[in-house]
Amino acid sequence: MHRQFRGETIYMAENDVHFPQLTVGQTLNFAAKARAPRDFTFPGITRTKYAECMVEVTMATFGLRHTVNSKVGLISGGERKRVFDKVTVLYEGRQIYFGPCHEAKAYFINLGFECAPRQTTADFLTSLTSPSERRIRPDFEARTPRTAEEFVIIWKRSNAYAKLRHEIREYEARYPLGGKSVNDFTAARRARQAKYQYALCHPFTEAAASAIVDLPFKVANSISFNIVLYFMTNLRRTSGAFFTFLLFSFCITLSLSMVFRTIGASSRTLAQALAPAAIFILSLMVYTGFVIPINDMVPWFRWINNIDPIAYAYESLMINEFDGREFPCSTFVPSGPEYSDVGRFDHTCAVTSVFHWRDICYDIKIKKENRRILNHVDGWVKPGSLTALMGPSGAGKTTLLDVLATRDTQDFHLETMTVREALRFNALMCQPKTTSKKDKLAYVEKVIKLLGMEYYSNAIVGVPGEGS
Question: Residue 35 carries which DSSP code?
Answer: T
Residue 254 in domain: yes
Reported pTM: 0.34
Residues 216 and 275 in one domain: yes
Domain boundary at 391, 411, 431, which?
411
pLDDT digits (tens, 9 = 90+) for 210-239: 778 888 888 998 899 999 999 998 888 899
Average pLDDT over the chain, rounded to an integer = 79
> Could you tell me which of 84, 85, 79, 82 has the C-alpha nearest to residue 100?
85
Range of lowest pLDDT (184-193, 271-280, 295-304, 429-438): 184-193
pLDDT, residue 178, reads 44
Q: What is the DSSP string of 36-90?
A: S-SS-SSTT--HHHHHHHHHHHHHHHHT-GGGTTSBGGGS-HHHHHT--SEEEEE
Tell how far CA 69 is from the center of its chain.
25
Residue 24 in domain: yes
Residue 106 in domain: yes
Residue 251 in domain: yes
Percent of the chain having pLDDT more than 70?
Answer: 76
A 10 A CB-CB count for 32 gives: 20
What 73-81 contacts at long range (C-beta under 8 Å, 24+ apart), as own/partner pairs, is 73/20, 73/21, 74/20, 74/364, 74/373, 74/399, 75/24, 75/394, 76/393, 76/394, 77/393, 78/393, 78/394, 79/393, 79/394, 80/16, 80/18, 81/16, 81/122
Domain boundary at 296, 322, 348, which?
322
pLDDT range class, residue 341, cuts 50, 70, 90: low
Q: Is the pLDDT of residue 392 over 50?
A: yes
Dist. CA 446–CA 47, nearest whole Å: 57
3-state helix, strand, coil in the chain (%, to 5): 50, 10, 40
Q: What is the DSSP string of 349-417?
A: ------EEEEEEEEEEEETTEEEEEEEEEEEEE-TT--------TTSSHHHHHHHHHTS-------TTS
Q: How many domains does the chain have?
A: 6
Mean pLDDT value of segment 427-456: 89
pLDDT, residue 54, reads 86
What size, in residues, is the chain? 468
Residues 245 and 314 in one domain: yes
Q: What is the DSSP string of 292-304?
A: S-GGGS-GGGHHH
The 3-state DSSP class for residue 129 equals coil
CB 395 within 8 A of CB 443: no
pLDDT, residue 248, reads 92
Dist. CA 191–CA 321, nearest whole Å: 52
pLDDT, residue 31, reads 80
Residues 235 and 272 in one domain: yes
Residues 318 and 207 in one domain: yes
Residue 148 in domain: yes
Residues 110 and 210 in one domain: no
Residues 309 and 379 in one domain: no
Residue 387 in domain: yes
CB 364 within 8 A of CB 374: no
Residue 290 in domain: yes
**Neighbouring residues of 265: CB distance < 8 A, sequence distance ≥ 6:** 203, 207
Percent of the chain having pLDDT more than 90?
Answer: 12
Residues 122 and 189 in one domain: no
Residue 114 in domain: yes
> Could you tell me which of 371, 372, 343, 350 has the C-alpha nearest to residue 360?
372
Residues 208 and 292 in one domain: yes
Residues 302 and 390 in one domain: no
Q: Is the pLDDT of residue 188 over 60?
A: no
Residues 424 and 398 in one domain: no
Domain boundary at 302, 322, 342, which?
322
Dist. CA 445–CA 133, nearest whole Å: 26
Dist. CA 144–CA 10, nearest whole Å: 33
Range of the domain at 117: 92-157
Residues 407 and 355 in one domain: yes
Residues 97 and 69 in one domain: no
Dist. CA 397–CA 391, nearest whole Å: 7
